[in-house]
Structure 1
């Protein structure tokens, strides 16, 4: 049966004299699920005469507010804004592979690799394996052993792609939950040490010192973190060698894909991060997993620039949702048994809270990042010289929208560099009522599922 509150809200909005303007706002948010409400005004003044050239105020807007996109990158919170972020990341990554956005097209001739750095094993988990299109048994073992907790370490099931058991340990009591969350916590530092070891190895292979390497070549990166179903992150990265001034200059003759591949393989096995001993846990050193994928990126072939850019951009909008955890911070006082999460995720969260309370591990801020299962790094990062920035891409979009507003007469033409701008804005809430959300889905063609808190519009004045 239709929600009576939603129906009443839709009827009220449709009969509002300002409905057309409200619909225009919704379309301009691109279908944002939780638009931010702003209240205020902006004045454009001639600094010489004080004459007001243009004024905008939210007083005349529907409900007295301006709705703008939330701009989150998380697809679990707002698929519309996450799609914009994904598209921007795609353009950023691809520009560093084929040029554009200020990067010359000659960059396609520079040595470039796509690598995947994985996590080590922390216990046997249910997995989906395929061979020649056929799904294989998960962990079929004729001589399967029995773990100390009485469980046979074998699984003959052929798991479907959406099987809820994927990523779950065959024996949760044997699984190294402490190691899993500590690896996530140390992975950003492990990545930093990997990049340093990579540069040292490249210099050694080329017969150069570190200083000489910097005078001849620049090694740029662009990476994204992806969660595996078992709850640990691994990194996908693009690594490129340029000349001394970046992508606009030709790399030296010694810089080849083979030399770079050797450096990646060496660096991945050479670095480690040590975590101090704590009560109940010995000191341990974390390294990358043994599964390392290194492939050269080409303009044509199986691994093209488009495929790599699309792959990285897809994961830039994801977080730990695939593990079954939450996309919000967790209060240490929360009742973990009441959280709507998988048992495996619940135990990972509990381990973050337990280890985070120890003085020896406070630097990892495990309690703060318990919902991320210990990972506190940036999901998408790049070197300064890899390509353009997300800020520049967004500014291009802003400039385009301003030009469109001028061409349609909604904004007068004047030089913003010589105009005094006085603006005053305040936060007035976020979200849509149930009725407004249904209308927004119809207007934008995004029939999105309604979040649990939909309709609870936050009012800053409350």
Structure 2
């Protein structure tokens, strides 16, 4: 198969224009962005005292009168190039937070701080098709990994679709309540008030949301205990991985960690808490088969930082009107 004649003619035309080298430089700077943003306009910087022009720029001098910049979309389904850059940045940011990085002002001593990788899941809204580790799905079938029915309701008539949507909408608030309660649980275990806790301990974390096959959000979080001034300071001796583990489990199920959504229309009042599946694993420098390593945590968080609802077969963009839906 040869090159399309029209495309070839267009390439030859562009490559022979006076601004081709500048155009190519713009393309290179976008990093291969699949949907660059085209900017047009001017900017002028003046000396505040004298009014003299210190710098001026106009896109009129650019090829086509436009400046091309990367879209910066983190979703791999929308722009693989920008998502790759975002994932790389996320990996190094998370890794610095658990191994230390002088370039990011995080000392290597954070490796000695209590660190865990926690996963908080959504509650059940009804049974769905799945692939259990042992045996078959409740429907009796053994679904292949890419079976499109995975995550769909076994009984669509009784499945709480509205509840699932509302939970996703309020998951951020539930996380905020969880982190507030976590500090209280840590203070209680240390025999301190919350104000006293701030003088000796800081809770640091990085999290990412992942959509499960059923479309419900759950959170993966790296949670670390620092001294009062952050990673540069040593946490108190009583701040251990086991204490952090206990505090997380208590905070996740506490009555305070609840979001109440009032009744509206034909929808009843709902109270949301985290699901029963709660996984907490210590982060270790080197794996021994039971714990998760620093590199694995950073890679996992970076992976899901570039994925969203499209991983469940949903749209990866805003819905502006009903016509964009494949009904």
What pairs with 1:11-410 in structure 2 (closer than 5 Å)? Answer: 11-41=12-42, 56-100=57-101, 101-130=104-133, 136-139=135-138, 154-160=139-145, 162-270=146-254, 271-301=257-287, 302-331=291-320, 334-335=322-323, 339-340=325-326
**TM-score, L = length of structure 2:** 0.89
Cα distance in structure 2, aligned partners of 1:52 and 1:281 = 61
**TM-score, L = length of structure 1:** 0.64
1:50/1:288 CA distance change after superposition, 3 Å: closer
- Does the CA contact (< 8 Å) of 2:72 and 2:83 recur in 1? yes
1:47/1:179 CA distance change after superposition, 3 Å: closer
Cα distance in structure 1, aligned partners of 2:231 and 2:185 = 21
- Does the CA contact (< 8 Å) of 2:143 and 2:150 recur in 1? no
Residue in 2 aligned with 1:366? none
User: How far did 1:311 drift?
Assistant: 0.8
User: How far did 1:25 drift?
Assistant: 1.4
User: How far did 1:326 drift?
Assistant: 1.7
1:42/1:258 CA distance change after superposition, 3 Å: same
Cα distance in structure 2, aligned partners of 1:50 and 1:339 = 54
Residue in 2 aligned with 1:147? none
Query: 1:158-182 CA distances to partner (integer Å, 9 max, x unpaired)?
Result: 322x222221112222211011011
1:51/1:339 CA distance change after superposition, 3 Å: closer
Query: 1:369-392 CA distances to partner (integer Å, 9 max, x unpaired)?
Result: xxxxxxxxxxxxxxxxxxxxxxxx
Cα distance in structure 1, aligned partners of 2:268 and 2:18 = 68
Cα distance in structure 1, aligned partners of 2:313 and 2:240 = 42
Cα distance in structure 2, aligned partners of 1:188 and 1:275 = 14
Runs of 4+ with >3 A deviation: 1-8, 40-60
The higher-RCO structure (CA 8 Å, 6+ apart) is 1
Cα distance in structure 2, aligned partners of 1:303 and 1:156 = 32
Q: Give the aligned length.
A: 319
Cα distance in structure 2, aligned partners of 1:53 and 1:178 = 57
Q: Which runs of 5+ in 2 are unaligned?
A: none
Cα distance in structure 2, aligned partners of 1:197 and 1:54 = 51
